[in-house]
Amino acid sequence: MTLKYKNCVIFVRDIHRSKQFYTEILEQKVIHDYGRYVGFECGFGIWETAYAMSVIYPDQNKTPSADHPQTELYFESDRLDETLQALKANRVSFIHELYEHDWGQRGIRVCDPDGTIIEISEPMSAVIRRYHEQGFSPGAIAKRTGISLSEIEHYC
């Protein structure tokens, strides 16, 4: 048997509110909208919690715990500063605003309306280009980022 990863599905209390968040604020394109399930082009979906539980556990009264999110969705943005301003303008709940990881990648963490953790970071290709423009050698960039020298040379 061959399995192929397709997407991550998160359970949401209000499918309409969450769909609006992902389409209007994070600018994700819907490829499937079945009312209580919405699939996005980038490879994840949202599913109305009560309905999901009734499908998954039809003979039980199950409710997932949302107290401690176990999942983080990861997005990339070539315009991180603009993304940050758009998130602020939409009064999104921040875990932290713009930061820089030890490996040089800049990112933001927010929560969607149900508390799911979302990281939005610049692509590593942008990190490599930034260091190259600052005069770092490919070897120094490799050491800082942990990316192979051949991949760094590709982007430089």
Domains and their CATH numbers in the chain = 1-62 (3.10.180.10)
Helix axes 138-145, 124-133, angle to 10 degrees: 140
What's the pLDDT score for residue 8? 83
What's the pLDDT score for residue 54? 81
User: What's the distance, Cα to Cα, between the start and end of the chain in Å?
Assistant: 41
What's the pLDDT score for residue 139? 94
What pTM was computed for the model? Answer: 0.69
Question: In which residue ranges of the chain is pLDDT below 70?
Answer: 1-3, 5, 60-71
